[in-house]
Every structure is written in structure tokens, then in C-alpha cells.
A and B are shown apart, each in its own frame.
Chain A
């Protein structure tokens, strides 16, 4: 640090002490703020841990092979049989469809922004992608409903409507994360490719995309994790059913979040003779927690896989 003029009246140890300490008031403030900041972080971790613990504690008992691989067809009242297979299937189909719609548009837009983007179009695309990340999910659902209602009439409820709604939410997330990943590709690679006479599109496909594929995968997985738990847009678009339906273009579909919500709102079943093997009065909330556990496991797994992919496969740059 700076050179201090030695005061002959004091010992050097005293100088060192003065230099290395601050006055108590400032030090107290510093300590208090440090504690507050640590507490802030703790405050955020409390609900995370509490919530995950609750879901696991409440849902774990309900999980069984039957629960995972059976539907709710012909199950009613306090019947403890049945499961969430139709909801898992619906979630997978609708999310996959949303991914199929969003990923090409998202990655190509990211390519456009990073490799070609200039001028007002690029600026407005960047701006509106950001704005789009803030569209409320229920509005996305209403949009999909309006779109399909104009074509098929107001009674239409099919899986692809949900996929369209989810795409509106998913596209901006894909664009943002892929854009970041493409920007990480060093320009030397592109220039080297051009120097070899490789056309630009081939450079993008073979060099830029290849280099960033791990990051792109992560981005897509995180985007999927983001929309897989969406409830509100599906509530207004795909309807509900208790049977298995894998066809997103015909008929209602059940999805995990909607299933959890429906079971939550079903309440207790009347069991005249008390709880028995065939009638469990709080089976609906058990089902809701079970579905919540499966859903949260899916989301956490996607997040984990996504982050591990970056960690393991990301190009070490710089």
C-alpha cells in the first residue's frame, strides 16, 4: 500500500496496528452488514430446503410402480389405486412438442443475433426477446386458446395448444441462453474457417455450433426444465382427462402440474366406513404430493444434467 511516514514517537508495531485496524464504529457496521448478507442468503435457502423436504416427505409414500405406470381411468372417490402415467405421458408429449417448435426457432434466432445481427432488426429482436421472457404464463395460454379457438371453435382442447403456449414461454429462454453460448465461441475459430475458404453457413454449422454444442444442450435442457412445470397455460388449453392419450392432436391430455392441481382441489373423499384398503379419504392430496414429487424430480434432474453437461463438456476457453 502507500508509504507511511514513520512517526519517531511511536513504535513500528503500533503503526502496524493502526494501519491494520479500522475504528470500532466502522468495523461494527462492516460486521453487521456481513452478518445481514449471510442471513439474506440463508433466508433464500430456508424455503428451498423446506419446500423440497415437504414434497419428499409428503410424496414419497405414494410413489410406487403402480402409481407411475397406471392412469386414473375408472378410479374415483377414495379409491387408492390408479396413478399418474397419463399425466407423465402428457407432460412428456407436450413438452417434447414445445421443444420441437422452440429449439429450431430459438437456435436460429440466436445464430442470427450473433452471426448476422446488425441494424434495427437485430436490436429490436434482442429487445423483444428480453421482453418476451416476461410474458405471464397465463397470457401465453390465453394466446394459444385464442389462436385455436378462432380456427376450431371455443370448445377445442388439444395437446398441441399447450405445446404452442409453452413455446411462447420457451423460445425466449432458448434464444437468450444459446446466444450467450454462441458468443463464447472465439472469433479465431471462425476466422480460421473462413481462411480455409469455408462458406459462412458451413462455418456456423460445422464450427460454431459444434464448438458450442454442450452449452446449447444445457441451454435447451434448462429451458425445458423451465416450462415443464407450467400449470396455468395448460389449464386453459389442454383440458383434463383421466385416461391415457398420447395424441397431442386429438382430445384432452393430462399433465403432471395440472394433475397435481386438480387433485389438490378435489379435497377429501367421503369414506363412510373410515379409511379402509379400498377407501382412503385424503387420497387426493396424497396423489397431489406424489405428482409434485415426480415433477420436482424431473425438474431437478434436468437442471442437474444441464449443469453437469456444461461442467464436463464445456470448451475450456481463454
Chain B
């Protein structure tokens, strides 16, 4: 195989003149640069096209919107209309995060420090499989299987710990509440949080760990004194990446949640919350005209929120170059 290399090699040798960036070399470099620039262009295009299609809704008066969008209440600005959706989106994502982060850290520590070395790759791949399962299947499973199983537990929480702000209200008898959605979303974002945290934990300087061991620390003490402090910013950014995922998840929410448009913390009750992504997917097929523009405006809001969260997360990661191998 390598012999085929020689003819062009000869030619390039002939015109060696200090500047190697000539002929096809230059073309190839520009192709590569062009591909890189394409990424930036695509991201810009996403923003631009969303803005251009959302523009009619952004500039429309509340009266026009109320007339053109079926769900739109009278005398409401677009921001006030999207408010409950943003609230629902953030609530779902935060719930998922609260449930997922402790478990994900446990898994990451298990894989990086507890499991046998030989197994750790396989176990990591198993956790990653959770991310590979299509969200529509999470939706099917959540609706048909998980929600009925969780309902008695939610009822119990409501009856015994109903004083806690999140567990008040009337429990949904079907389990199709924000709490169930939070559990499913937590499962869905486990892999990304685990993957990033795992990488960070693995990069703990061996010397730190060995120093702790030399001082007679138990395995947990090593983790508490050496691994966790070192990985803190990594875990924070991993959580934010998970948050970004949870914010944008569509199908699982669409299929499980019983939607509503209110500001309330009663996560066990039905018909209270809706997320932006599920709202778009639910209403898009039967929308026309200004309705579509309004949905795209909601999508733009989601885009801005996730962009902000992801950029912050990546910025935190990038500040510590050691973690650049993560995810």
C-alpha cells in the first residue's frame, strides 16, 4: 500500500522551497478550514432561520396573536404567554438534575474507583446505552409501565409529606405528572453526567490519591479528600450539560406529561405544567400561519436557554484544560 505514495512524494520533494503549503496541500487545507467554518455557519444559520420565522410572532400585537393562535389568551404579551412554558421547562430539567446528579456521581465513582479495571469499560458502555435508547421508547415505557408503578408512591408522598411544597395539591391518579417526567428525564440524562464526571474522576492525579492512601485514608476518604475536590468543576459542568439535555427533551415529556399552563410547584398534580419542546411537538402538526410562527418563537426561546446553559458548561470545562478529554 505505502508504495503508491511515492510518485506524489517525489514531485513534492522536487519543489521543496521552504513553503510547503502549495498545490493540493493548500486546497486540502482550505477544504478542512471550510468544514470547520461550516460548523460555525450552521450554528449561525440555526439562529438566523429561527429568528426569521419567529419574527412575525415577535412583532405581532397581542390582538393579532389571540386571533391567529388557538390557545392564545386575550391581552397577553408573547413573553407572558411563553412564561409558564419556560417555567415548566426549567422545573422539569431541575427535577431531573436533582434526581440524576447524586446517582450519576455514584455511577461515575463506581466505574472509576470501585469496579474492576477490566470491567469498567463494559460497565461504562452499559450506562451509555441508556443514552442510545430512543426517546420515543422512553415515552412508551414511561406512559405504559412506569407511571402506573410510581402512582402509589406519589400518593404516599402526598398523604404523608404533603406539607412539603413540591408534594402538595391533588395527586394525579394516572401518574402523568411532572414528578414522573422528572424521573424519566433523570434516567435519560444519567449517561452524559456519568460520562463527563467519570473522565474527570479518572484524571485525578495519582499522586494525590496515593498521598491520601499513605496517610491511612479509607477508599471513601480518598474520594472525599482527593477525587471530589479535584473533580468539582467537572461535575458542575457535567450537571449543566445534563441540564441542557433535559431542557430540550421532547418525546418523553410529550407522551407522559398531562400538560397545563400554570406556575405551580405541585409536581404530583396533573395538568399544571408543560415544557417548550413538548408544546411545540404537540401543537405543530395542526398549526398554520401565525400559530407556526409562535411555535418557532417558543423554539427560539428554548434555543437561547439551552445555548446559554451549554455555553456556560463548556466554558467551565474549557477553563480547566485538563478536562478537555471529557465527552
Question: Which residues on A are within 8 Å of B, measured CB to CB?
Answer: 1-2, 22, 26-27, 29-30, 33-34, 36-41, 43-45, 47-48, 50-51, 54-55, 58, 104-106, 108-109, 111-113, 115-117, 121-122, 124-125, 127-140, 142-143, 145-147, 149-150, 154, 168, 171-172, 175-176, 180, 193, 196-202, 204, 206, 210, 225-226, 228-232, 235-236, 257, 260-261, 264, 285, 288-289, 292, 295-296, 299-300, 303, 307
Interface segment, one of B172-180, B246-254, B259-267: B246-254
CB pair B110–A125 under 8 Å, yes or no, is no
CB pair B39–A171 under 8 Å, yes or no, is yes
CB pair A264–B140 under 8 Å, yes or no, is yes
CB pair A206–B106 under 8 Å, yes or no, is no
- Summed over the interface, the residue pairs from A and B with CB atoms below 8 Å come to a total of 304
- A296–B132 Cα distance when bound, in Å, is 9
CB pair B9–A204 under 8 Å, yes or no, is no
- A40–B103 Cα distance when bound, in Å, is 5
CB distance from B3 to the nearest CB of A (A): 11
**Contact of B45 with A by CB under 8 A:** yes
- A197–B134 Cα distance when bound, in Å, is 48
Given A48-B130, A131-B307, A197-B9, also A292-B137 (CB < 8 A)? yes
At the interface, is chain A mostly helix, strand, loop or mixed? helix
- A198–B137 Cα distance when bound, in Å, is 50
**Contact of B302 with A by CB under 8 A:** yes
Contact of B251 among A2, A106, A140, A232 (CB under 8 A): A232
**Shortest beta-carbon contacts, A-B, top 8:** A136-B248, A40-B106, A229-B134, A108-B35, A201-B28, A134-B310, A112-B32, A232-B250
Contact of A226 among B24, B132, B285 (CB under 8 A): B132
19 contacts between A and B (CB under 8 A): A30-B220, A33-B223, A38-B114, A40-B105, A47-B187, A48-B129, A108-B36, A112-B35, A128-B43, A135-B46, A135-B303, A135-B306, A197-B10, A199-B8, A206-B4, A231-B251, A232-B135, A285-B144, A303-B129
Contact of B250 among A106, A135, A138 (CB under 8 A): A138
Contact of B25 among A51, A132, A143, A201 (CB under 8 A): A201
Given A37-B114, A51-B133, also A128-B50 (CB < 8 A)? no
- A2–B31 Cα distance when bound, in Å, is 59
CB distance from A125 to the nearest CB of B (A): 4
Which B214-253 residues sit within 8 Å CB-CB of chain A? 214, 216, 218-221, 223, 241, 244-245, 247-251
- A176–B327 Cα distance when bound, in Å, is 8
CB pair A112–B33 under 8 Å, yes or no, is yes
CB pair A139–B306 under 8 Å, yes or no, is yes
Interface string of B160-198 (1 = CB under 8 A from A): 000000000000000000000000000100100010000
CB pair B145–A50 under 8 Å, yes or no, is yes
Given A128-B43, A229-B134, also A201-B220 (CB < 8 A)? no
CB distance from B185 to the nearest CB of A (A): 12
CB distance from B12 to the nearest CB of A (A): 4
CB pair B129–A27 under 8 Å, yes or no, is no
